[in-house]
Amino acid sequence: MATYLVTGGAGFIGSNIVRKLLTLGNKVKVMDNLATGREQNIQDLLKDIEFIEGDIRSLDAVLHVMDGVDYVLHQAALPSVPRSVNDPLTSNEVNVNGTLNVLIAARDNDVQRVVVASSSSIYGNSLQLPKVETMIQNPMSPYATSKLATERYALSFHSVYGLPTVALRYFNVFGPYQDPKSQYAAVIPKFITAIQNEDTFEIHGDGEQSRDFTYIDNVIEANLLACSSANAAGQFVNIACGSRYTLNEMVSMLEKIIGKKPHPEYVANRTGDVKHSQADISAANKYLGYSPVVTFEEGLRRTVDWYKTH
């Protein structure tokens, strides 16, 4: 039985990963300071996991948690472009300094592999589609810059100390346990709850911006493969579906699935936002053996079903 540490394990992505690890019979430690994660996301799992309410900004705390860990799935971060624009200092402390602490603790405890969550935002507003890992990165926000630093630190620990690390560049992840009420909520949970309640909701710009929306099960699969694949160490790869949909197309799909008329309100573009995003996922396939397990439309259906019952 392997022991996994999931940092940020009470958050949206982290809590979904924790559930999967438990079903596979692993021992799981979760470290989360509950700044953006929520204990209710893992409430039903507390008897089966070791939960440490702690902050990755404390090296001592991370060193303590890392004892006996085989694999680290580092999901802890301060997400959101707008949040980083408002408060770049805290985004840097958590996403950069916090990651450095995780890597140091993993190195000092001979962890077998560290998988870090990076982001498609590091590509910036390049017109090149699809985004391929070898293209020039051009982060346009403090958040994106901190994510590029996250993966660079991880890869440097692989080359300098021999710590096996993998960086996964997530593209617009969505699914159950994503908080629709947060000030910085992602569009899908926001739109679903608004359409269900027949409320108006804001779309920044004309709604023709497109994203490679990635259902959570695909991200879970990528994390597991990143731990086990022989060729993964030292790599950075896109994790997505390799397709893209505009916000307007997504709203039309939600209208069909939910069966209620949406009431979008178009407002000004946001600073730091990217117009189009789509991933080339051939490197993830090559190094991890990854291919998407759930399509966008099926993921939307599953997500709507989850919000109906929660």
Q: Which residues are catalytic?
A: 143
Strands 245-246, 210-211: pairing is antiparallel
131: nearest Cα among 212, 39, 12, 74: 212
Alpha helices by DSSP H, listed for the chain, are 12-23, 59-66, 81-86, 88-92, 98-108, 142-161, 187-196, 216-228, 247-258, 282-288, 296-309
Label residue 185 exposed, middle or buried (CB < 10 Å: 0-12, 13-18, 19+): middle
Compute, in degrees rounded to 10, the torsion defined by CA atoms 7, 43, 24, 179. Answer: -60
CB-based contact 222:239 (threshold 8 Å): yes
